[in-house]
Chains A and B, each alone.
Chain A
Amino acid sequence: MSSAEAWLDLIAAALVPAATTAGPAVVVHEDHRWLPVLEQGLPTTWLQPHQSPWADFHAAAHRLPATRLRLGLDKRAGEALELVRRAALGVLVLPHRAESLQALQPLMAQLRFDQPWLVAGKEDLPAWESVEGASRQWLALPAPRGWRLLVGRPLAAAGQALRLEAGYELSLARRLLAASAGRAPAGLSLQASESGACPRLQFRPVAVNCIATLAEPMLYHVLVQDRAVFGPRGEASVVLPWAGANRARLLLRNVRSRIDDLHAAFQGLDLPPAAVHYTEHGALVDFTFPAAKPGGQALLHLTLPPTALPPDDFCDIGAAEFSLELQP
């Protein structure tokens, strides 16, 4: 699993203090994404080429969750361009797919090096040609391996102050987390890998922050009950942080029976649980993810066996934990 987008999240969050205008953070990505560290630092809007059918949620202390503000350029282009202009901090992750690039062109044409934007992508992407003055006016910062990272002028000084080094490693991750200290989400921790090779980012979000739904009635149940609920037929989708994780552990509460035959899918492939443990709090399900497709959806889809569903309530995700090896 590529960890470049997790590095990007840490870098963007560390740049939040340099975001001086009153606008939101704006993340442009061709796929459904969640950058939890940045989202914690600034109210965040997500722009995609096409309006996502998925609704997901952002919860904060003392309030009920609200849906994440996700706009598709196909449906709400005017609003999206207004957000690009208002962004206190923008993150553009360059698209892999040609049709995404075409859809994002009007937005990319608005970007100028004197805006507080951070542009990132694999270095061999054709989309780089569409970023105005990419090779000259924007400031290039050391990037994760195989990636390229540019920042606009308002972020240049803050970007240099981060002292990003080629060969991203534990000390850099620590420094970035420290730079966003106080704004990093609770439940995020950085651990030295047991093998000593790569640091590991471990994240235990509020469960409702990582549930997504296509079904409108479920949307209201999540909004009102503040629970990461499965649908009445036992279906749920989990938003993975970044481009995905290496491992995930979910606590599925309120299941009535064993769920060894739980069906899970990730990027079109079946993903059987690596392990299921039964506890007094519910079933703990572990997943180990294969390498993600570049530009693929970071969504894990689950279907519980019908026998596991309670007759007069919903199953829910009581807790979630994701871990990701931070490769250089």
Chain B
Amino acid sequence: MTVQRPRVLLVTFNRLMPADQGNSRRIMQLVGVYRRLGYEIDLVYHNEEGLDAGLSQAMQAEFGRVQVLASRASKRIREGHFALLSDWYDPALAQVCQEMHRLRGYQVVHVNYVWYAPLLKGFGSEVVKVLDSHDLFAERSEKYRRAGMKPSWFSTTLAEEDSAFRMADAVLAIQRGEAQEMAARGHRHVLYLPYVEAQVRPFEPPAQVPRLRLGYVGSGNDWNVRSMQAFVAALARKAPVLPFQVAVAGGICRHVREMPGLVNIGFVKELGGFYDAIDLALNPMVGGTGLKIKTVEPLSFGKPVLTTPSGAEGLAHLWTLPVLDSPEALVDYLFDTLLPDPVGCLTALHTQAVSSRAALDAEYAQQTGRLSRWLAQRVSATALASA
């Protein structure tokens, strides 16, 4: 007779298929982790990003059992741009999840983002409760204001975020720095789990570079827009006609002015094709919150990447590739270091990329191992207690 596999209930508002946003990809990373640990995964899709027959089919194929609930969260933003957890939490989720728990008997419930944490309160001690924070949201609006930007999306108070963390048995932090900050705020149940994608292409330094091709792919969020505008302005100041090609892809294209040598190619269906067509990826971030997936993604496709301190945030302890001080410094590097000797420079960058990737993989393996051991211990302990 087959033994029933343990089950996880995963709750998300993200459209997971195709996983073309950073947060969806992070969630699918966790799906892979649970699956490798032998868990069966059920999904509550708190529909905020649309539903169609294709997505329904993909979700049914990927998960054990799927329930779709239209979001009725008010998503209120209070004066001063902050929200309480209750402003963004949808209480209708509790009943749906409790019914699914009755039917399926979960060992783990996994929610994403702090405003979903109140859902965890409905589960007893027989269930291990995991909150993937994705980012720190306490006083997030201040970070925007300090950068001279209008705050957007969710921002809350330290007290609210701390209360959300206390509702979970484990809080996952995507960056080491965030984990350290949570620990500094007194949370002792934080697990740092970095984001790393599987290696899709090997690193192969070019033997010759007839025309240097650089690339950036990103969504049109405020930080990306600001970063790319700074980068393009620096490029334009340096040379009105670029001596290399820069391909820009994704939602950012709506916000980037083309110039000779810089081409907006819009949405790309296959990231592999995009990275295959470039020699070097760029991520000239000037700020932002959370992990910059665009910094680690090119490595998965066998391409080195140049970034800034903001783009390398959370990775600095592993990173051996150059980190340039600003978009302007990045442009200087392209003209002064890369352009005079593209083959030699790219070969060196590839070596550094291989080393950075190896360090990322080693840390990921170590941290996944920690999560696995913790889960196994907790699930066994709760099983024993409820036996």
Contact = CB atoms under 8 A, between A and B. Distances in A.
B57 interface: yes
A81 B1 contact: yes
Interface string A32-60: 00000000001111000000000000001
B5 to A, nearest CB: 9
A213 to B, nearest CB: 13
A66 interface: yes
25 contacts: A22-B101, A22-B102, A22-B105, A43-B99, A60-B99, A62-B70, A62-B92, A63-B96, A64-B47, A64-B67, A64-B68, A64-B70, A66-B66, A66-B67, A78-B2, A78-B3, A82-B105, A217-B53, A219-B60, A220-B57, A220-B60, A221-B53, A223-B60, A224-B52, A224-B53
Interface string B44-86: 0001000111101100100001111110100000000000000
Contact of A77 (B2, B92, B100): B2
A69 interface: yes
A223 B102 contact: no
A258 B3 CA distance: 54
B1 to A, nearest CB: 5
A79 B4 contact: yes
Contacts of A66: 65-68
A250 interface: no
A183 interface: no
A63 B70 contact: yes
A8 interface: no
B102 A24 contact: yes
A69 B53 CA distance: 20
A82 B5 CA distance: 11
Interface residues of A, number: 27
B103 interface: yes
Given A42-B102, A77-B1, A223 B68 contact: yes
B4 A82 contact: yes
A60 B54 CA distance: 22
Contacts of B65: 66, 69
Given A63-B68, A66-B66, A220 B56 contact: yes
Contact of B69 (A23, A42, A43, A64): A64
Interface bin, chain B: 20 to 34
B82 to A, nearest CB: 28
A23 B102 contact: yes
Contacts of A82: 4, 105
B66 A88 contact: no
Contacts of A96: none
B383 to A, nearest CB: 13
Given A23-B105, A43-B103, A78-B1, A223 B56 contact: yes
The 9 closest A-B pairs by CB, nearest first: A78-B2, A220-B53, A64-B68, A220-B56, A63-B69, A82-B4, A43-B99, A43-B103, A43-B102
A42 B99 CA distance: 8
Interface in A1-30: 22-24
Interface in A206-223: 216-217, 219-221, 223
Contacts of A62: 69-70, 72, 92
A86 interface: yes
Contacts of A42: 102
A158 B51 CA distance: 44
Contacts of B53: 217, 220-221, 224
Contacts of B2: 77-78
Among B3, B53, B67, B103, the one with the most A-chain Cβ atoms within 10 Å of its Cβ is B103
A194 to B, nearest CB: 39
Given A43-B99, A60-B99, A220-B57, 11 more contacts: A24-B102, A42-B102, A43-B100, A44-B103, A45-B103, A64-B69, A66-B68, A69-B65, A69-B103, A79-B4, A81-B1
A44 B69 CA distance: 19
A53 to B, nearest CB: 16
A99 to B, nearest CB: 20
Nearest to B124: A22
Contacts of A221: 53
